[in-house]
Amino acid sequence: MNTLQLYAYAKINIGLEILNKRTDGYHNINTVFSRICLSDLITINENPANLSNLQIECTPSIGIPQEQNLAYIAAKLLLEKYNVQSKNIQILIRKEIPSGAGLGGGSSDAATVLSGLVKLFDLPAQINELKSLAIQLGSDVPYFLSEGIAVASGRGEILDYFDYKIPYHILIVTPDIHISTKWAYENIKIEKKNNPPPNFKQILLDSLRNKQILKEQIFNDFESIVYARHPELASVKETMYKNKAVLAQLSGSGSAIYGFFESLQDAETAKSTLKHYQTYLCPLPKNKHKIK
DSSP character string of 227-286: HHH-HHHHHHHHHHHHTT-SEEEE-TTSS-EEEEES-HHHHHHHHHHTTTSEEEEEPPPS
Q: What are phi and psi of 92, to 5 degrees?
A: -105, 125
Q: Give strand pairing partners of 250.
A: 257
Q: Quick check: 65 and 73 in contact, CB under 8 A?
A: no
140 among known catalytic residues: yes
Helices (H), 166-222: 181-187, 200-206, 212-217
40, 109, 140, 221: which is the annotated catalytic residue?
A: 140
Q: What are phi and psi of 219, to 5 degrees?
A: -145, 165
Alpha-carbon span 145 to 133, nearest angstrom: 11
Q: Quick check: 99 and 79 in contact, CB under 8 A?
A: no
Alpha-carbon span 240 to 274, nearest angstrom: 9
Of 286, 276, 220, the C-alpha closest to 247 is 220
Of 287, 289, 288, 261, the C-alpha closest to 273 is 261
Alpha-carbon span 46 to 92, nearest angstrom: 11
In a 13 Å sphere around the CA of 172, the CA atoms on its Cβ side amount to: 27
Q: Quick check: 43 and 5 in contact, CB under 8 A?
A: yes
Active centre residues (catalytic): 11, 140
